[in-house]
Structure 1
Amino acid sequence: MSLTQERYEKWVNHPNLDARYKDVLENMNEEEKNDAFYTLIEFGTAGMRGLLGPGTNRINIHTIRKATQGYANYIIAAGKEACEKGIAIGYDNRHMSREFAFDCADLLAKNNIRSYVFESLRPTPELSFAVRHLGCFGGIMITASHNPKEYNGYKLYDDKGCQLIPSLAAQVIDQVNAIEDELAIDANCTEEQKKLITVIGKDVDEEYYKNVLSIQLNPDVNKDIKIVFSPEHGTANIPVQEVYKRAGYTCIPVEEQCTPDPDFSNTPTPNPEQPGAYELALEYAKKNDADLILVCDPDADRMGVGVKHNGEYVVLTGNQSGSVEIEYICSQLTKQNKMPENPVMFNTVVTSDLGEKVAADYGVTTEKTLTGFKFIGEKVAKYEVTHEKNYVFGYEESYGSLIKPFVRDKDAPQACLMLAEACAYYKKEGKDLVDVLDSLYDRHGTYEESQVALTLSGEAGANRIKEILANLRKDSPAEIGGTKVVKSEDYKECVIKEGDKVTELTGFTKSDVLKYYLEDGSWIAVRPSGTEPKCKFYYCIKGASKEDAHNKTVHFQQAMKELTQS
């Protein structure tokens, strides 16, 4: 009997199997069994994310309990004070999110660990805030972020409200992996232990809103703009509308997408990186002659942007909206003599060069991290202690940014408020946000940034992704699409190659990322997704004009497709 079949038989016949999974397991075909049981769902440095359903390679009550018991063992090992400080728990609108969250609280209570669970769905950044505000030892967020409706996930936070960095995550992973039978774990705590669970809500909301409102640089700006806003059925609905109301902005919600629907019934996709997320919002914008479209993902850590420009609506990339945010924030801090000494901005190794050039124009240095906002949070925590540098901004290319670090994760409500203010500020100068972006191209060079994701599901897909990266390492390209590669960085092997010269790449945790710098000032990066069955290709292409940059992007994308298919 294969290991896959053994796992299946164990589950389908186990007396502790949750009753809702029995019929699903008994009706699985061989292909479904293999995908659900061929491996154990990975509890990695980003927690867990996967398809909902029964199986060792799925998100379900049993794999969630295994993760939570491992986390509980980690908390207990940290000592009595850690158990008493407790864990804040948040959750989004997805199927089973609320059930998972309260089950986590019960299991922690069974382990004599205090918890604070939100009464209803809340944004990921508010969970990060709650950890800090309540003085907790850590946090759990039940969310699959921007993934399709079939997914859910589990993220862990430290006492600073930051997702666990690799060194801490490794300790939890060891505890999780030491648990052999996830089906043997139950969350039945006593009535006395139940008293360790506190349900939280409006008090924490109020403090979070106050902090979000504190980011305004020009609170008295003329707010004569119309904003169409969609939470994509997720957690951003109430907080963003409440912040806008208090700040005095006119917000037109996409009503059909304001219900917390786990099936995302009225949107083609909840992912702001995909055009379908904007379809209904664009209809609203045209009908209401809106200045700005803002779309948040379900757990409200990412924000997509559409701008009315010359009578048409232009959807910005995360790199573009991030660069506009940097320009506005830095220009206003400078104008108001509020720029701190030794200012620093953080972004990632797959984020566009444009933002770094904008920041440098205002004397702000940029430090790069690997993909994952936990690395930016780690940098914030470091300088909070050393005071060597002062935080100004942090962002990723994937539509996530953080204005003020009272939160230690991407924060869409903050970003929504700042983009609204920037839009209002520039409107009184006769400009829209695309005009601002174009002025940045004039000053710093024209870039087109894009991402192509190759989806490769299942065991065969996972092996193919590994093969693509292995082949690129084995035969490192000397040129891509006829343009010379002048330098490459390998974040797994920790080396930089420039011609025949090889030097050590330092300052990063080892990660399966390759980055190629081209002779024309462009770069291309490749990495497997940490949360989806995808191999991602990132392009930052420099051109003499928008048209030139676009044509070169198409050319380089085709070249990489041919290179990785050979």
Structure 2
Amino acid sequence: MSNIGLREQAEAWRKADPDPSTAEELGRVLAENNAADLADRFAGNLEFGTAGLRGVLGAGPNRMNRAVVRRTSAGLARYLKAQVPEAVSRGVVIGRDGRRMSAEFAEDTACVLAAEGIPALVFPGLVPTPLTAFATLRLGACAAVMVTASHNPPEYNGYKVYWGNGAQIVPPHDQGIAAAIDAVEPANQVRLLPPAEARARGLWRDIPESMGEAYLEAILGLRLHGRGAEALSVVYTAMHGVGGVWMERAMKAAGFSRFHPVAEQQQPDGTFPSVRFPNPEEPGAMDLSIAAAERHKADLVLANDPDADRLAVMARDKDGALRMFTGNEVGVLLGHYLLTQGPKQAKPHVATTIVSSVQLGQIAHELGAAFDEVLTGFKWIANRALEREHSEGTRFVFGYEEALGYTVGSVVRDKDGVSAALVFADLAAWCQSRGVTVVGYLEEIQRRHGLFVGAQRNFTFPGSEGAQTIARIMEGFRREPPKRVGAYAVQTVKDYKTGALRLPPSNVIAFELEGGGRVTLRPSGTEPKIKYYFELKEIPLGAEPLAQARSRAEGRLRTVIDAFVALARERGQPA
């Protein structure tokens, strides 16, 4: 598009923007004649990805703002009325986290839905994402909207959509909603029903506190051991998010009296003053938690991300040193614990994703449980669990993805960092009652079911040029798949874009290596990144210490990572 055409498009957007602050922001960009900034803001519309809409706050269709939220809500409402005739009686649940503009986005969503005749079932305060998903089922709503950007930096916000089954939307609903949004009038013409009028007409209903009580009662019922909590010392961080009050209530109700929140990060704060990137996986994000753990001599450290749908875990090894578990290790620990220590049931089912460790699948096979490997994104885990329950009568036990997302049972049809933390604390108390550390329990599993080591490398390429770079890398590997990655021959190439692997098409490529290794690459669905996932399997030699076998495996893994990054640079990745 020419600069003149771009400016005309921007002027039209500015005039239709219902928010004076973003209209003024766009006016400044136009006055400065910042062509690159303008081109990025109008590079396209934010699209539904792994978790609905998510983007940087600001003016323009490629940003998160009130204009985008109002048009999205109108499109969602009209799609729901076309697809779910009883939408006008069932309503839509609306929750929000503590980020900048979350309150405004949630109110706009409710007012647009009300104007369309769909009751808005609104949480009046801040809530974790899993509570919004939980309420969708409890209230029999036809859908839900959670205003959150999860673990993204403070300049982001988002709009996550759930279907009436309590799970995140999947095709064809995401494409259907997107098409409905495209047909919506300019934002300043979208009708809103003011909150007072919506309330008077029964189209804005506050969700009562009893919903939170029901959620806490349900997740407390997920524990298996339920004893020894008073002996375990736990440090917890909410990462400036909305999980703090819920984790504190859950842990105290479960008897974890030695529960120590990180005070500096316990209250919601959308500026995230103590962390640049509020993701427990990021360097430095856990520093305050580690310091608190040393002060309190804690056995266990639990961390949620800002909307409390993810969980990170640290625990002490036999020498008393704190050890951070990977997402795969937490998934294997929880999966094995629930399958072996939980009540015996017919047709247990566990699931994970194509970029997570293969170890849960091996454990499930050896324990006689049904297993699925699905596309990245928890929506696929939840919807696959529902499919198998309905068609085969399976009982969903556990699902996880390596990016710190876990769900236990069917209380919440999405990842839930609060209930996962509670169950992991139960696991840790069980380990302590056996005289074993959590690290020791993981080693028991690895000796029986195999030692797997993994790693991930992410490369960020922002803006429209970054998107082209990521596309160039992916297509480079499609055109010229490697025959070897370092010392390992590539035995199988799996290109999920074709949809030929019994899964919906997805822009993911996996290279299976000799000896049980795997390298997988995919663009992120929520950030301007390309992600590479690596895993190798190691067989310990006789009775050698697992630490020695792990060290050997990690050395081999580093050579694989270096070799693959070099291959990526040959295919267009900047140095």
The interval holding the TM-score normalised by the smaller chain is over 0.9
One-letter code aligned to 1:389: T
Q: Distance in 2 between matches of 1:45 and 1:396?
A: 13
> Taking every aligned residue pair, what percent have the same amino acid on both sides?
34
Q: Distance in 2 between matches of 1:45 and 1:294?
A: 25
Q: Does 2:569 match 1:558?
A: no
Q: What is the match of residue 167 of structure 1? A: 172
Choose which of 130, 144, 148 in structure 2 pairs with 1:139. Answer: 144
Moved more, 164-173 or 227-236: 164-173
The Cα shift of 1:450 comes to 1.4
Choose which of 5, 28, 39 in structure 1 pairs with 2:44. Answer: 39
Q: Does 2:501 match 1:505?
A: yes
One-letter code aligned to 1:5: R
- Given that residues 235 and 298 in structure 2 are in contact (C-alpha distance below 8 angstroms), is that contact kept between their aligned partners in structure 1? yes
- Given that residues 146 and 271 in structure 1 are in contact (C-alpha distance below 8 angstroms), is that contact kept between their aligned partners in structure 2? yes
Q: What is the match of residue 441 of structure 2? A: 436
- Given that residues 114 and 193 in structure 2 are in contact (C-alpha distance below 8 angstroms), is that contact kept between their aligned partners in structure 1? no
Q: Does 2:303 match 1:295?
A: yes
Q: What is the match of residue 19 of structure 2? A: 18
Q: Deviations over 1:205-244 (max 9, x none)?
A: 0100010101011223453110000010111111111011
What secondary structure sits across from 2:466 in the alignment?
helix
Q: Distance in 1 between matches of 2:392 and 2:228?
A: 32
Moved more, 478-487 or 184-193: 184-193
- Given that residues 93 and 121 in structure 1 are in contact (C-alpha distance below 8 angstroms), is that contact kept between their aligned partners in structure 2? yes
Q: What is the match of residue 6 of structure 1? A: 8
What secondary structure sits across from 1:485 in the alignment?
strand
What secondary structure sits across from 2:159 in the alignment?
strand
Q: What is the match of residue 224 of structure 1? A: 231
Moved more, 24-33 or 526-535: 24-33
Q: Does 2:463 match 1:458?
A: yes
Q: What is the match of residue 198 of structure 1? A: 205
Moved more, 551-560 or 266-275: 266-275
Q: Distance in 1 between matches of 2:234 and 2:416?
A: 18
The Cα shift of 1:4 comes to 2.9
- Given that residues 110 and 190 in structure 1 are in contact (C-alpha distance below 8 angstroms), is that contact kept between their aligned partners in structure 2? no
One-letter code aligned to 2:508: V
What secondary structure sits across from 2:245 in the alignment?
helix
CA-atom RMSD in angstroms: 1.6
Moved more, 38-47 or 344-353: 38-47
Q: Distance in 2 between matches of 1:102 and 1:190?
A: 8
Q: What is the match of residue 498 of structure 1? A: none
- Given that residues 11 and 17 in structure 1 are in contact (C-alpha distance below 8 angstroms), is that contact kept between their aligned partners in structure 2? no
Q: Which runs of 5+ in 1 are unaligned?
A: 495-503
The Cα shift of 1:329 comes to 1.4
Q: Does 2:218 match 1:211?
A: yes
The Cα shift of 1:74 comes to 0.7
Q: Does 2:557 match 1:549?
A: no
The Cα shift of 1:119 comes to 1.0
Q: What is the match of residue 544 of structure 2? A: none
- Given that residues 39 and 56 in structure 1 are in contact (C-alpha distance below 8 angstroms), is that contact kept between their aligned partners in structure 2? yes
Distance 1:399 1:219, change over 3 A: same
Q: Deviations over 1:16-64 (max 9, x none)?
A: 5411123322332333222212222223463110000111110000011
Q: What is the match of residue 539 of structure 1? A: 534
Q: Deviations over 1:77-113 (max 9, x none)?
A: 1354112100000111110011101110011001111
One-letter code aligned to 2:75: G
One-letter code aligned to 1:386: S
Q: Deviations over 1:108-134 (max 9, x none)?
A: 001111011111110111000000001
One-letter code aligned to 1:125: P
Q: Distance in 2 between matches of 1:267 and 1:32?
A: 27
One-letter code aligned to 1:279: D
The Cα shift of 1:561 comes to 1.0
Q: Deviations over 1:440-482 (max 9, x none)?
A: 2222222211111110100100011111111100011111113
Q: Distance in 1 between matches of 2:283 and 2:259?
A: 21
Q: Distance in 2 between matches of 1:536 and 1:80?
A: 41
Distance 1:198 1:316, change over 3 A: same
Q: What is the match of residue 264 of structure 2? A: 256
One-letter code aligned to 2:271: D
Q: Distance in 2 between matches of 1:550 and 1:187?
A: 56
Q: Deviations over 1:117-174 (max 9, x none)?
A: 1111101110000000011011001010111101000111111110011222121111
Match runs of 1:320-331 below 5 Å? 320-331=329-340
Moved more, 378-387 or 146-155: 378-387
Q: Does 2:525 match 1:530?
A: yes
Q: Does 2:284 match 1:279?
A: no
The Cα shift of 1:418 comes to 0.8
Q: What is the match of residue 427 of structure 1? A: 432
One-letter code aligned to 1:312: A
Q: Distance in 1 between matches of 2:16 and 2:187?
A: 12
Q: What is the match of residue 117 of structure 2? A: 112
Choose which of 492, 498, 501 in structure 1 pairs with 2:497. Answer: 492
Distance 1:265 1:173, change over 3 A: same
What secondary structure sits across from 2:568 in the alignment?
helix
What secondary structure sits across from 1:488 in the alignment?
strand
Q: What is the match of residue 418 of structure 1? A: 423
Q: What is the match of residue 497 of structure 1? A: none
One-letter code aligned to 2:278: P
One-letter code aligned to 1:203: S
Q: Does 2:351 match 1:332?
A: no
Q: Distance in 1 between matches of 2:160 and 2:47?
A: 12
Q: Does 2:82 match 1:77?
A: yes
What secondary structure sits across from 1:145 in the alignment?
coil
Q: Distance in 1 between matches of 2:442 and 2:84?
A: 51
Q: Distance in 1 between matches of 2:227 and 2:298?
A: 21
Give TM-score, length-normalised by structure 2: 0.93
Q: What is the match of residue 345 of structure 1? A: 350
Q: What is the match of residue 326 of structure 2? A: 317
Match runs of 1:371-382 below 5 Å? 371-382=376-387
The Cα shift of 1:67 comes to 0.8
- Given that residues 269 and 276 in structure 1 are in contact (C-alpha distance below 8 angstroms), is that contact kept between their aligned partners in structure 2? no
Q: How many residues align?
A: 551
What secondary structure sits across from 1:53 in the alignment?
coil
Q: Does 2:81 match 1:86?
A: no
- Given that residues 234 and 260 in structure 1 are in contact (C-alpha distance below 8 angstroms), is that contact kept between their aligned partners in structure 2? yes
The Cα shift of 1:359 comes to 2.7
What secondary structure sits across from 1:94 in the alignment?
coil
Q: Deviations over 1:497-532 (max 9, x none)?
A: xxxxxxx422x1100000111012110100011100
Q: Deviations over 1:317-372 (max 9, x none)?
A: 10001111112212212xxxx22112111111111022222333322231111011
Moved more, 151-160 or 375-384: 375-384
Q: Does 2:367 match 1:362?
A: yes
What secondary structure sits across from 2:230 in the alignment?
coil
One-letter code aligned to 2:20: A
